[in-house]
Structures are given as structure tokens and as C-alpha cells.
Amino acid sequence: EKQGFKHFMLKEIYEQPGVVRASLEAYLDSEWTPDSPSNPVRLGLPDRFYEELEHIQIVACGTSWHAGLVGCYLLEQLAEIPTQVHYASEFRYAPTPLMPNTLTIGVTQSGETADTLSALEMEKRRRLDREPKFAARMLGITNRTDSTLGHMVSDLIDTRAGIEIGVAATKTFSAQLVAFYCLALDLAVRRRTLTPERLGAIVEGLRQLPAQIEAILEVQERYIGELSHQFAETQDFIFLGRGINYPIALEGALKLKEISYIHAEGYPAGEMKHGPIALLDAKVPVVAIAVPGLVYEKVLSNAQEAKARDAQLIGVTAMNDDHAAEVFDDQLPIPTVDELLSPLLTVIPVQFLAYHIAAHRGLDVDQPRNLAKSVTVE
């Protein structure tokens, strides 16, 4: 049931505040305050997961791989655990040399993606009969606990987004991000890598996200709907981001190509001058994610380099950012938040943009050509 929305994808975009709220309620102790001595996170994972943990490796495909990249950033920056993210299809045939005390996380909303399943299977197999420090520790992050993954891995984080029908993943991505925020915080508390003040600020910031996503949905849909008319003939798009928003640039590009069939590339903004800048001219719009934080100034100057090549510049920026207003032709504003929490907000405008461009072109948004909801062949 589309409940009055034109497409399932649009309905699922609108479900995100509720999904994020429900996941936070499930994984975070609602009574917890910064004065509480306890761990605010409740993932219900067994103790053996945490013992002498030295490395994490994440395997996934597509949008779930992008969630893994955000997860990697969080696990390294918050919990200080060396983490690697692999495309499942690559890891399967060229795995990292076996590392001890390693947690392997498979991220798949469907729990049926063949590449991800076979990468996990291989990892399990090569760790059989090894000394205890090499024993497999596997965690699945999935939206379908009754899936093949659910039966293969004994420990799961259930992302609780409800069934997603649109082929383009939206709400399940947000739910995967919440799972990674909570896992990274859980590990950070256990490893004592955060000050109590920082921990309190992040938990408080997470709790505010659902209302902030609601605010973006309310303000932006009309604007982006109208903006998308300008791209009726556009053939290429570039998405730029840095740091924790680099994966959001990749996600914006993937959403757009998947449902609008426009060629789009996501790049870490600083890499643009090392080649892709040659693509730019007035016909190639550039979407840059430039929110306050560590890399803000750098992204703005990378965006300016694009502007000097006549590219139309669209910025996902903080609200009331006058400095950014001077740089960008169009702004898709989000509330000002800690940069670390921003992906759950910056992803909304790029989802909307992809949706509206595709819908405006009259395409079958929920069932794009050549794609299936889950890819069950390797």
C-alpha cells in the first residue's frame, strides 16, 4: 500500500524519521543520561564479541557498502578500532590475510545478497579449526532476520525498518546507519575512548535526529521537486563529499544512476582535482555536501574549483549558512548538527533529488530497469 504516495520510494523516504526513532528506542536506553555510569547501548551481543577485539572487517554491496563506509568512520573515530570495508564480491576472491581477534560484519538489508553471503561463508570456512584467536566472530546487520543471512550468522542487529519495496534502498540505509552509530558507541564505552561529555553529546544528538529529519522532509520536498525540472536533459552529475559525508556522496550518485539512468559519480571532494575535474563544464551539475565541521572549508574550496569550470553548484549545507550561500547556486539546507551525526540528515536531500529527477522523467522509480530488489546471483 502506497498510502497516498506516488511511489513506494517516496513513502519510504518519508518513513525515515519513524525508522530512526524506533531503532534508537530499541538500541539506546531511554532512561540513560550523561550522569548515568552505565553503557547507554543495548545491542544484546554476547561478551565474546568484545573480548580482545582488535580489528573489524565489513563486507557488503551497494548501498549497504556505503553504510559500511560510514560505519568504518565511526568505529575508527569513536571506538578507535582499525576497520576495513570490502565489497563482498571482491573480498570473496581476494580476502585480507587472516587477522586474529577480528569481528566480521555482513551488512545486507535483504539478507539474501549472494555476494555478501558467499563472502561470509568463505570467511567462516577459512577460520574453522584454527587456534582460538582466529575463531570466526560474525555479526549480521539486516532488515530481514528470517533471511538466509539470519540463519547463517548467530548474532544479528535487526534494523527494524519494516519491509522496503522500492528497489532503491532509502529507509533501510538510515536504519543501518543507526545500527553502526550504536555499535560504535557501545565499543567506545567499553574501550573508554570517549569522554563522558562527548558520549553525552552524541547520545543527545542522536535523539534529536528524528525531528530534524522530519524538518528536512517538510521544508525540502517542494523545492527539490521544482529544482529537478532543470535536469530534464542532464546527462552527468558529480557528487562530492569528504570525511563522514564522502559515503553520502557515493550514495547520492548511486541513487541517481539507479532510478534516473543519469550517469553520476561520487568522489571524495579533494580527489576531484586529480582527474575528474576534466569532466566539468556548464552541462555537469555538481552536488557538494558542505556542512560545518573538520572538512567544511576544504569542501567549499573544492566546490569553488568546480564553479570556476562553470558547473552548476548545488550545496547540501547547514541552514542559514551565508558563507555557503555565496558559493552555491542552489542550497539544500539541513539543521546544524555535529558533523559526525550529519549523514543521517545529508542523505535526505540526495535521496529526494534522485527521486524527483527520476519521477519528473516519468520513469518507473520503484522498479528501475535491469535491477532487482535483491541480487541473488554472484
Q: Provide the binding-site residues for ligand M6R, judged by CB under 6 A.
A: 61-64, 108-110, 113, 116, 167-169, 254, 258, 374-375
Smallest distance from the beta carbon of 113 to ligand M6R, in angstroms? 3
Query: Kind of pairing, strands 55-60 and 102-108?
Result: parallel
CB 86, min distance to ligand M6R, A: 13
- Measure the CA–CA gap between 22 and 20, rounded to whole angstroms: 6
Work out how close the CB of 176 gets to ligand M6R at its nearest, in angstroms, rounded to a whole number: 8
Q: Centre a 10 Å sphere on the Cβ of residue 136 and count the other Cβ atoms it contains.
A: 16
In the chain, the amino acid numbered 180 is F
Q: Which residue is nearest to ligand M6R (CB)?
A: 62
What's the rounded Cα separation, in Å, for the pair 39 and 79?
14
Please report which helix (H) or strand (E) contains residue 144, including its range. Answer: none
Residue type, 260: S
| 123 versus 321: smaller Cβ distance to ligand M6R | 123
The C-alpha atoms of residue 336 and residue 13 are separated, in whole angstroms, by 21
Q: With respect to ligand M6R, which residue has the nearer C-beta, 135 or 152?
A: 152
- Tell me the C-alpha distance between 59 and 40, whole Å: 27
- Which residues on adjacent β-strands are paired with residue 137? 103
| Total residues found in the chain within this entry | 378
Give the shortest CB-112-to-ligand M6R separation in angstroms.
6
Side chain identity at residue 355, one-letter code: Y
Nearest distance from C-beta of residue 191 to ligand M6R, angstroms: 28
Identity of the residue, 105 or 324, whose beta carbon is nearer to ligand M6R in the bound complex:
105
| Residue placing its CB nearer to ligand M6R in the complex, 65 or 73 | 65
Cα–Cα distance for residue pair 139/251, rounded to 1 Å: 23
69: its cell numbers: 563506509
Of 64 and 234, which CB lies nearer to ligand M6R in the complex structure?
Answer: 64
When the beta carbons of 63 and 317 are compared against ligand M6R, the nearer one is: 63
The nearest distance, CB 153 to ligand M6R, in angstroms, is: 13
CB of 314 to ligand M6R, least distance (A): 21
For residues 65 and 58, what is the distance between their CA atoms, to the nearest angstrom?
8
State which residue, 159 or 331, has the beta carbon closest to ligand M6R: 159
Instruction: Tell which residue, 166, 96, 170, has the closest CA to residue 134.
Output: 96
Cα–Cα distance between 255 and 262 in angstroms, integer?
10
CA-wise closest residue to 124 among 136, 133, 115: 136
CA dist., res. 149 & res. 6, Å (int)? 32
Question: Which CB sits closer to ligand M6R, 142 or 317?
Answer: 142
Q: How far is the CB of 315 from ligand M6R (least distance, A)?
A: 23
